Amino acid sequence: MYVDPEIIRLLAFLIGVIAFAALNAAYLVWLERKEAAHIQRRIGPKEVGPFGLFQPLVDGIKLMTKQLIVPAGVDPVLFKIAPILVMVPAIMSFVTIPFSDTLVARNLDIGLLAIFAFASVNVLGLLLGAWGSRNKYAVISAARVVSQNVAYEIPMLVTVVTLVMISGTMNLSKIVGLQMGGFWHWNIFNFSASPLMPVAFLIFFVCMLAETNRAPFDMAEAESELVAGAFTEYSGMGFGVFFMGEYANIVIGASVATILFLGGWDCPFGLFPGVHWFLIKMYFLIFTVIWIRWTYPRTTFYGLLNLSWKILIPISFVNLILTSAMLKVF
């Protein structure tokens, strides 16, 4: 029987992507706990396996064996569908991400657009889950999530548009291809396109923190204010899937930042480019995300919106205009 090798390739990628997302979600929890522990001068998980490496497995078993409580009065359909709506788009985003010049499931010409389209479904999932769980804390959290994401998508997309103007393509592999050959070719140091590129990277990074609801912008899950925010009524794997989706989104955010600004799989010194460089850069960004969370207190909600509307959006527009002017001149 003849099977199209393309189908086998896609199946292998499907399994690979799901495994990558799930493994990352599990082991980023471990990384987060370990890193937090060392920041706080503790040891962190150490009992289960060497360095507590089997802790995520045990946590997973615990979450999966717990009863999935659907409280009285919630909207059962929305309540159950919401975690999936957070998790699935995150996994789908992985399809277009090029880990190296050959390691990409689908090299779409609109890859960048696809990722942002999928990423915005995440908000919908949180909103539905929070709204459906009929809890006042969750509803407050939902309102925060939506306005936060609306506010931060604008500077993020404006920055991305700047990048698209420089690269002239939305194909992620081609964007990386234009940055090959050492760190001075990366977009973050692309001063010939715009002197504000490092600032643009910072804007993108801050927006990524806000979009993934990470501290200091964790308005959705502000546990000292809103108990657990949108996840208040979720138990067992319902909560677990939300959690995994959150980490998968962080991986996506860090990957996109790596591709757009840090040259993807390119080696900083122009030697041996490959998937390892992509992973090093991506995990460094994730490490920074976790580092920030355990260092800074939470901002307030209006402080967060002020930051976006009064600082990030004007700067990103200045960068956009500057870039377009410089592209026209040079």
Partner 1 sequence: MSAFAESEAKETFVLNLGPQHPATHGVLRVKLTMDGEYIVEAEPVLGYIHRMHEKMGENRTWAQFLPNTGRMDYLHALAFNHGYVSVVERAAGIEVPERAEYLRVITSELNRVSSHLLWFGAFILDLGGFSPLLYAFDDREHILDLLESVTGSRLTYCYFRFGGVYNDIDGDFVVGARAFIKRLRGRMPMYHNLVTKNIILMKRLREVGPISAEMCRKYGATGPVCRGSGINFDVRKHEPYSIYPEMDFEVPVYEQCDSMARYMVRMDEIEQSLRIVEQALDKLPEGPVMADKVPKIIKPPKGDYYHAVETARGSFGVRVVSDGSNTPYRLKLRSPTYSNLSLYGEACQGMLLPDALALMGSLDLVIPEIDR
Task: Tell me the residue length of the chain.
Answer: 330
Which of residues 16 and 216 has its CB atom nearest to partner 1 in the complex? 216
Question: Contact 65/105 with Cβ under 8 angstroms?
Answer: no
From the list 71, 36, 31, the residue with the least C-alpha distance to 51 is 31
Closest distance of CB 133 from partner 1, Å: 15
Which of residues 41 and 328 has its CB atom nearest to partner 1 in the complex? 41
Which of residues 179 and 308 has its CB atom nearest to partner 1 in the complex? 308
Closest distance of CB 303 from partner 1, Å: 6
Question: Contact 134/198 with Cβ under 8 angstroms?
Answer: no
Helix (H, G, I), strand (E, B) or coil at 225: helix
Segment (H or E) for 214 = none
Closest distance of CB 28 from partner 1, Å: 17
Closest distance of CB 137 from partner 1, Å: 8
Segment (H or E) for 137 = helix 136-167
Question: Alpha-carbon distance 125 to 79, whole Å?
Answer: 10
Which of residues 140 and 257 has its CB atom nearest to partner 1 in the complex? 140
Binding residues (CB under 8 A) for partner 1: these are 36, 39-42, 136-137, 140, 143, 215-216, 218, 222-225, 227, 294-303
Question: Contact 251/289 with Cβ under 8 angstroms?
Answer: no
- Which DSSP category does 96 fall into? G
Closest distance of CB 74 from partner 1, Å: 18
